[in-house]
Amino acid sequence: MYAAILTVVCGGLLAFASESLKEKQQANIALEQKKNILATVMELKEGDDPSAIYAKQVKAFVIDYNGNVQEGMKAEDVAVASEYKKAPDQRLLPVYEFSNESGQVESVVMPVFGYGLWNNIWGFVSLESDFNTIKGVKFAHAGETPGLGARIDSDEIQVRYKSKAIFEGDKVASITMMKGEGFDYSNDKHKVDGMSGATLTAKGVNNMLQDYFVCYQNYLKKNKK
């Protein structure tokens, strides 16, 4: 009886705490997403207010596979993990346009989602104003191997994608993380150095980027310079 009462009381307290903190948790998740989006286009300094910068310089909207804006839909309401389960041409696709102080679009940011060696991987990719050249990436993972595949969330790996290109002419060529590490791909717009001992995670990243660049290609082609 004591154990039953204790279980009910503790369960009730946990449920109450979870419900009470739900709004704050959602706010923290939203703030973290804004930070990750901004991190692909700028360096956030100590004292910066990500929410204020985001509100002033980011325009978020939703498109379909054909690149058409879906009126009345909010980017924050689209669950990318759920959309990933659909066929590419059926997905709703959030877009985040980053503008400078004068209102000119400098970058476009796209969320990406996929599967690594052990679990989900995801992130954001930003492009320069030519809608082709990578400005920055921010990757994350749920359970890749520490010291190996888990390195995809490190600056050391992510900086390798800077200045690479999505298109070869009008065709999506994507960017491939190669097998092995310590090689120079600076002269190849579609290849980056690999991660030693993490071939399958790298393959997951490659598949993720190819998949989502194809999803966004019609929107990008409409704006590509």
The domains of the chain are located at 58-223
- Per the prediction, the chain carries an average pLDDT of 91
Digit-coded pLDDT (tens) for 117-165: 999 999 999 999 999 999 999 999 999 999 999 999 999 999 999 999 9
Measured between alpha carbons, how far is 128 from 224 in angstroms, rounded to an integer?
10
Mean of the pLDDT values across residues 22-51?
A: 85
Give the pLDDT band of residue 19 (cuts 50, 70, 90). Answer: low
pLDDT > 60? residue 21: no
C-alpha to C-alpha distances, 165 to 43, 122, 131, 136, 169, nearest whole angstrom? 21, 19, 9, 11, 10
- 197 alpha carbon, distance to own chain's centre: 24
Output the pLDDT for position 135: 97
CA atoms within 13 A on the CB side of 172: 16
C-alpha 12/C-alpha 184 separation (Å) is 58
Name the residue among 215, 222, 213, 212 with its Cα closest to residue 64.
215
- Alpha-helical (H) ranges within the chain are 2-39, 50-57, 80-83, 155-158, 199-223
- The percentage of residues in the chain with a pLDDT greater than 70, rounded to a whole number, is 95
* C-alpha to C-alpha distances, 67 to 55, 73, 94, 217, 219, nearest whole angstrom: 24, 14, 11, 8, 4
DSSP state, residue 115: E
Please tell me the distance from the alpha carbon of residue 92 to that of residue 174, in angstroms, as a whole number. 20
CA distance 180 to 196: 5
Query: pLDDT > 90: what percent of the chain?
Result: 77
CA 42 to chain centre: 15
The more confident residue out of 62 and 1 is 62
The answer to whether the beta carbons of residues 92 and 76 sit under 8 Å apart is no
CA angle centred on 37, ends 34 and 42, rounded to 5°: 110
3 state DSSP class of 106: strand
Helices 2-39 and 50-57 cross at an angle (nearest 10°) of 50
> pLDDT (tens digit, 9 = 90+) per residue, 175-218?
999 999 999 999 999 999 999 999 999 999 999 999 999 999 99
Query: Is the predicted pLDDT of residue 101 greater than 60, yes or no?
Result: yes
Q: How confident is the model at residue 94 (pLDDT cuts 50, 70, 90)?
A: very high
